[in-house]
Amino acid sequence: MAEPMRIRATMAGDVADVKVLMNHPMETGTRKDAKTGQLVPAHFISEVTATINGAKVLEANIGGAVSKNPYLGFKVKGPKAGDKVVVNWLDNKGDKNTAEAIIG
Amino acid sequence: MNALRRNVLKGAAGAGAVAVAVAAGLLKPTQAMAAWNKGAFEAKNVGDAMKGLGVSGPADSKDITIKAPDIAENGAVVPVEVTSGIAGTTSIAILAEKNASPLVGNFNLMGGTQGFISTRIKMGQTSLVRAVVNAGGKSYTAAKEVKVTIGGCGG
């Protein structure tokens, strides 16, 4: 099962700066295993959504071309310190993970 | 020793099940969102990828800034930051033009999210990194070349 994901959210003026670090191998499906010469099956996060206090702020479709252990940063205008950020991801094998953080 | 191991395993399994249940509950909104855009992601060239995204003939814009290294030593991890100064930006897509599948990601922004996305991408070879921004029903684009010393796709 997926490892925890880390979220850091800080206010900079009236903008919340959200940084998310997900744990995922992000296999494209085109890489060959160095030992066996076999293709490593595709395994990557395909969808990421983020909400702040329950309201959706980001909906992303990503592919295997995002680096291993994906990093995602975005900025949201409006929230206040103490608001709750929730990030969910879903991968191409149906695995999912969720994490939340309080904006500081 | 063995009994302890059993207990630890049992504990771990229990915690795992809870995590799955929580995730399932919290992930409901995800299921309602648009399905993963398979066509656009599997497109083998920039034109098809854009078509898959529903974009045609985006206008060049100086209001889109792409921050990426001029030379990336490691194509497996290329930091890319896209800032759109265009008012009403609703989505930002990132493409690595010469990747086998150019589309890296498409980010839909809503609810006060600003025209800014920062991430790390894989690049197979030296190529333009292109951002496509949708704002007010129109499409805009900008690109920046990143030289890659060691490719990060396949191999």
ipTM at complex level: 0.94
Domains of chain A: 6-102 (2.60.40.10)
Within an 8 Å CB–CB cutoff, is residue B45 touching chain A?
no
Phi, psi values for residue B13, rounded to 5°:
-65, -40
- pLDDT at residue number B26: 42
CA nearest A25 in B: which residue?
B76
Give B83-139 pLDDT, tens digit per residue. 999 999 999 999 999 999 999 999 999 999 999 999 999 999 999 999 999 999 999
Rounded Cα–Cα distance for residues B6 and B27 (Å) = 31
Q: Is there a contact between B130 and B146 (Cβ–Cβ < 8 Å)?
A: no
- Name the CATH superfamily, with its identifier, for domain B35-150: SoxY domain (2.60.40.2470)
Rounded Cα–Cα distance for residues B23 and A91 (Å) = 13
B89: tokens are 């930006």
- pLDDT at residue number B11: 52
> Out of A70, A92, A98, whose CB is closest to B119?
A70
Q: Enumerate the domain spans of chain B.
A: 1-33, 35-150
Give B26-67 pLDDT, tens digit per residue. 443 334 345 789 999 999 999 999 999 999 899 999 999 999
Three-class SS state of B126: coil
Question: In B, residues 79-138, which contact A (CB 8 Å cutoff)?
Answer: 81, 96, 99-101, 103-114, 116-123
Task: Give bridge partners of residue A61 from the DSSP assignment.
Answer: A47, B106
Chain A contact set for B36 (CB, 8 A): 46-47, 61, 92
Q: How confident is the model at residue B76 (pLDDT cuts 50, 70, 90)?
A: very high
Burial of B34 (0-12, 13-18, 19+ CB in 10 A): exposed
pTM over 0.80: yes
B58: tokens are 């985006």
Chain B contact set for A74 (CB, 8 A): 107, 109, 113-114, 116-118
Mean of per-residue pLDDT scores for chain A: 94
Chain B contact set for A57 (CB, 8 A): 109-113
Chain A contact set for B116 (CB, 8 A): 73-75
Mutate to test the interface with A, among B18, B30, B132 (most CBs of A within 10 A): B30
Torsion sign (Cα): B142, B145, B151, B152: negative
CB contact under 8 A, B121 and A65: yes
Q: How far is CA B102 from CA B36, B47, B63, B97, in A?
A: 16, 10, 22, 5
Mean pLDDT to the nearest integer, A25-53: 94
B155 pLDDT above the threshold of 70: no
CB contact under 8 A, B153 and A98: no
